[in-house]
Copies of this chain bind each other. A is one copy, B any other.
Amino acid sequence: MSLITVGTMAFDAIETPFGKVDRIVGGSATYVAYAASNFLQPVQQISIIGNDFPQEELDSLQARGVKIDGVEQVKDKKSFFWSGRYHTDMNTRDTLVTDLNVLADFNPIVPDSYQGSEFLMLGNLMPKLQLSVINQMKERPKLIVMDTMNFWMDIAMDDLKEVLKKVDVLLVNDGEARQLSGEYSLVKAARAILNMGPKFLIIKKGEHGALLFHENHVFFAPALPLEDVFDPTGAGDTFAGGFIGHLAKTKDISFNNMKTAIIVGSALASFCVEKFGPERLKEITKEEIDDRISQFVQLVNFDIDLV
């Protein structure tokens, strides 16, 4: 039950209607690792950081069973920095600053010690880098899950389509599913995307939940209705980490178990948004996760007696 996760480790500055932070640790691989490490250890991280990345954050990840052999530290550069401001609806945001810094030279290397891993989580990155990681695996993982974003559809669609042929699960949001497929209806979009390579497609709709498509099946998982969404940053990556963490722990990649994994991912994401950055994810206990999952069961459970 070994897992590799590839993605960014970064600093974020975030402004929401509830407050702002100038510099908090973020990045897709950070959120995936904090979420997945609740379900299995080690989580084998591949990323790149600068000379400014705090040692205590690396210690904190390692204390949770996250291996950082694949995390390259560049001595004379700064870490990737992103800054954004959320609108009142929390579903839309403006990017204020993107300083690539070390990310401009990122060339992910899979350490020998990571070879043989059965689960691979490709966080949102340039498609060429995602492909490079897949090609470095001496044995194809049992399950490859991939995240991406509209930016790569705008500037690297051909590369993206190459990666799509080689992955099992694609994670996108509703707007990205529409852009990738050219279809407005999500049902039609899903059918088109499943023809591009992935056997499973997850369409994330933020506060409106997530859809899982596979062959002619579809499953819907709601987001938990929350009093306040404090900071949505990293919620999608946290969802991905909970999703693949559950699958890697149970080693069951059936459609049925993927449904459960989506509920687990949704539960983890519901914690993420309660505080700025990954702060809340650092605190949660197994009891809290189980309790949150039970709330999802209550939320959608109903009896039908067709008469």
Contact = CB atoms under 8 A, between A and B. Distances in A.
Contacts of A299: 218-220
A184 B227 CA distance: 9
A305 to B, nearest CB: 8
Contact of A222 (B186, B220, B256, B260): B220
Interface stretch (A28-36, A55-63, A204-212): A204-212
Given A205-B208, A208-B205, A263 B302 contact: yes
A290 B306 contact: yes
Contacts of A259: 301-303
Contact of A227 (B185, B217, B226, B293): B185
What is the count of identical protomers in the complex? 2
Interface of A: 88-89, 184-188, 205, 208-209, 211, 217-222, 225-229, 256, 259-260, 262-263, 290, 293-294, 296-306
A263 B227 CA distance: 24
Contacts of A263: 302, 304
Instruction: Name the prevailing secondary structure of the A interface residues.
Output: mixed
Contacts of A185: 226-229
Contacts of A294: 306
7 contacts: A219-B298, A219-B302, A220-B222, A259-B301, A259-B302, A259-B303, A263-B304
Given A222-B220, A225-B211, A256 B303 contact: yes
A290 B304 CA distance: 10
B88 A184 contact: yes
A305 B290 CA distance: 10
